[in-house]
Structure 1
């Protein structure tokens, strides 16, 4: 199942990333990492000379370098996600500020498998998964929207992803490995944990080293790459955390761009009427 574009899986709705903005915050993370390093140099200068001049200089240089990309990445709106609303059983999509939707119970989905063939790339298998949505109050205007990029995916994988969405809408919000309803979110968390996060790299490396130690039975189990990771990953941890924090801030700010017809239906006590009923 392709879960990496799932941004939020809640009791009321599920959202899918669009527009390839998962790396939003990388510049802020890099600048924040430089800021921390600069402050470290400034503090070292302060301890050596007992004069705050060096600290002020590093702060004056590095702080603007961080604030500029941070403000640019948080104030620039993220593309709105594709929303699957369990409460009203419908799907929402924003296209250039215009609201599109479709009822889940009559949704149309299409999966296609195709290959790209070239002398340099050889043959690459691809599979697309698309759904049909209609413009609010203009149902004659329709779009086919892609649920994630098709490149490098198989038809079986896209079917598995569709089954995840179907299980959420029909049996959710939580379900087990067979798609049946479950009161526990353990299986869902295990699936969403597959999504790679840079801030988890050090924790994953420690787990791999612990497993290697167990399998080695007391022999030397540390490789050169393990030693390098143990040194480098803690150094780059602030970069990853700042990047993730910046992305979350930008995501929260972007939610306000949904029309009130959508936002009120995402709430636990919001209306349950569908947009098609209002039409």
Structure 2
């Protein structure tokens, strides 16, 4: 199907905006729900499989129901039936758990404050970029289609170079562009810029702060499924207070009070599975990266190692190609 047929969405692009490491964007720092870890030494962005663990969570939820049935059988003295039920239910958790934790997760994009550089894994090859002099390309466009109408989107990309092969470069997207505006992407770049230049903690204006209050407030906005019931109870408590004793429960509130506790085990198992898979995947980074993520690790940049090895000696750091 061609791009010009009525059924196919169209892209309507606006001029590209260049964002730089040493120049404010004019926006306040904004986290766009894609920061995976914000630590004292590095910032990582969520990869393509942040939903890893959902299959195990679903299996765990079914096993919870099976476990309840098994308990009923035991209370009724039907031990053999309980053993059979449990035997059939355990694989529903164990098999997807092993499959989802043993398969490596795609490695995240890492911003290293200690060495002032960025790392990215592309199909097993290490790419990097010095933070000094780095530029980002932000491009706002509208996706238009007969089914979706007009949807505003904005991409944010940086250029990175293959380790020990600086003639090879890729453009790396800092999160999916869908549903984001140019101002949102500029705010996210300001969040990264504040972290790298003034961090690890900063205030709402991007200035250095000894307190992590603003950063925590940004990260806490990201929805966490296992916290949904707690958030619902807090909302209902406030609704009761505002109603002054009047009936404050709606039909949707009743549904939430029933479903969210039932889904809590599934959500917790999913989060645990993802956490374990992420922990195992950290070991997949090359040694030159993992040792630089440590508090007492080396502070030399990968580009400096390349120069020491005679790789790309003719290219000074500040002469690395900038994004067009």
**Which band: TM-score by shorter chain?**
over 0.9
Contact 1:28-1:242 at 8 Å conserved across structures = yes
TM-score, reference length from structure 2: 0.84
- C-alpha displacement of 1:258: 0.2
| 1:13 matched to 2:42 | yes
CA distance in structure 2 between the aligned counterparts of 1:18 and 1:40, rounded to whole angstroms: 36
The Cα shift of 1:70 comes to: 0.8
- Unmatched segments (≥5 aa) in structure 1: none
Write out per-residue CA displacement over residues 225-275 of structure 1, whole angstroms, 9 at most, x where no aligned residue: 212211211111000000000000000111111000000000000000000
What's the CA shift string for 1:192-243, capped at 9, x where partnerless?
A: 0111111001001001101111110111111122122112111110000000
1:86 — aligned with what?
A: 113
Instruction: Please state whether the residue corresponding to 1:207 is helix, strand or coil.
Output: helix
* Structure 2 segments unaligned to the other structure (5+ residues): 1-29, 307-324
Q: Is the Cα contact below 8 Å between 1:135 and 1:141 reproduced in 2? A: yes
**Is structure 2 residue 110 aligned with structure 1 residue 46?**
no
More helix by share: 1
**Matched positions, count:** 277
Aligned CA-pair RMSD: 0.9
Can you list the C-alpha shifts for 1:149-169, whole angstroms capped at 9, x where unaligned?
111111000000000000000
The correspondence for 1:206, drawn from 233, 241, 246, is: 233
**In the alignment, structure 1 residue 29 sits paired with structure 2 residue 57:** yes
State the distance in 2 between where 1:225 and 1:143 align.
47
Alignment match, 1:271: 298
Q: Secondary structure of 2:132's partner?
A: helix
TM superposition shift of 1:46: 0.8
Shift of 1:121: 1.9
Q: Which runs of 4+ in 1 moved over 6 A?
A: none
Post-superposition offset of 1:2: 4.2
Task: Report how far residue 3 of structure 1 moved.
Answer: 2.6
Counterpart of 1:96 in structure 2 is: 123
Give how far 1:120 is off: 2.3
